[in-house]
Amino acid sequence: MKLDELQKMTQEKRVEFIDLKLCDLLGHWHHITLPISSLTPQLFESGVGVDGSSLPGFTSIEQGDMIALPDPDTAFIDPFFERPTISLIANVMGVENSVSAYSRDPRRVSADAEVYLEETFKGTSAILGPEFEFYVFDKVNFFQGPDAAFYKLDSAEAQWNAGQDEESLGYKIPYKKGYHVTPPKDRTYNIRSQICAMLTGLGVGIKYHHHEVGGGGQHEIETEFATLLKMADQSLLVKYLVKNQCFREGKSATFMPKPLFNEPGSGLHVHQFLANEKGSLFYDKNGPARFSKIGLYYIGGMLKHVDSLLAFSNPSTNSFKRLIPGFEAPVAGTYSVANRTACIRIPGYQRDPWTMRFEFRPGDGTMNPYLAYAAMLMAGLDGIKNKIDPGLPLNRNLDELSPDELAEIHQLPTSLNKALNALETDHDYLLAGNVFTEDLLESWTGIKRKEVTEIRVRPTPFEFEMYYDA
């Protein structure tokens, strides 16, 4: 969008402020708000100075000065500001020698991944369509101190509330029985519709929304396809709208992978394919499941590098509490047709040569989408480059395999620490085209190792139940 178009929009909407949103290494938005008088050519040439040392994963305090440079193509009217405000997503620029793209800026990684793809396959785009799963709670409390630690979650939908005296309506969702339930059991459908209407108004295509399996308030919104960088931008926008609209309604939304014990976890499955003007490069009407060799090589690359990929797609200690048998979450590095226990699923209902795709199922909402989406693309391109054959699909329910059968299949990492170990030994594919950099990987790994340590050194409530009477 050109400056004159932005100025016309702000005049029509009587905008008073500009809000710049920038993403730290971990995938969280930060923001700074300017008066509308700042909407000048200089804003898009010089940006706004920020302290990079205060942004997780960025520079040190003695080299903290950085620049937030807004991208005019990302403009949207922020629906949560009382005073009319236009939001712009900003790139983070370094100023050490001259103003230039900062190596650890996650948005740069996605942009450079698209450049690398164009250099590898002229006229080709990476197309993604995520499924956003999340829980909505009516009340959330948690605390961690030296002498006490607890969390307490509540959902009016959940069966655990069936015995409460405050309500006698009777419409509770049994354990693991929430999939596509209708009102009055589904109490949050109006909030989901409101969120989807807001997203549509901001240019994010919506495929559908529905209640998910978790009876304690689990939901899903699936978006239409978009190119990699655009989808990464939209992914943070989806999370922003979900959290803020639920907060506005007096509820709390979380994309935490496993907030409830023994209920389904929340994933962020990513449908993806490469496409040019003729349609999906993954389509071949004569191929197995109508899938092309290029598509299979792409899958081969992702399966080869899947352990290190999980360091970006599942980058929390909580992530691996979701990746356990019995909850439709993948635990092995396999692919299949229509099998939802597989790591990679080729949807069995596909017929359209324009959108022939597969779904990468391990990921969750703790990912930084700029980094995770780019890492998936780089792994797939490495598979195409080296013609990595994924072998035959495994179309069996992995939850029903015997221990001996499972032992013959590659098992996914069972902890963040193991995924980080894999990333340290298998990351050359990420460095191609300077998409990822060594300093970014070092910063990422260092932060995540600290998270592992923070969990490791703290006792949990369940440990008291198990060991207090030692």
Residues serving a catalytic function are 51, 131, 133, 212, 220, 269, 340, 359, 361
Q: What is the largest CA-CA distance in the chain?
A: 72
For the beta carbon of residue 452, count every other beta carbon within 10 angstroms.
15
> Could you count the other beta carbons within 10 Å of the beta carbon of residue 273?
24
Paired with 128 in beta bridges are 226, 272
Query: How many other CB atoms are found less than 10 A from the CB of residue 114?
Result: 19
H/E segment holding residue 295: helix 293-304
* Dihedral angle, C-alpha 456, 459, 463, 465, nearest 10 °: -170
Q: Please give the Cα distance from 324 to 187 (Å, whole number).
A: 28
Distance CA 11, CA 77 (A): 12
Phi, psi angle pair for 117, to nearest 5° = -65, -45
* Adjacent-strand bridge partners of 336: 345
Q: Which helix (H) or strand (E) holds 254?
A: strand 252-254
Q: How many CB atoms lie within 10 A of CB 244?
A: 16
Count the neighbouring beta carbons within 10 Å of the beta carbon of residue 418: 15
Dihedral (CA of 235, 333, 339, 318) sign = negative
At position 256, the amino acid (one-letter code) is M
SS3 336: strand
- What's the length of the chain? 470
In 3D space, the residue among 170, 266, 264 whose CA is nearest the CA of residue 215 turns out to be 264
Q: How many CB atoms lie within 10 A of CB 163?
A: 7
Q: Is the peptide bond before 72 cis (omega within 30 degrees of 0)?
A: no
Joined together, the tokens standing for residue 3 give 């400056």
- Token readout for 7 is 């100025």
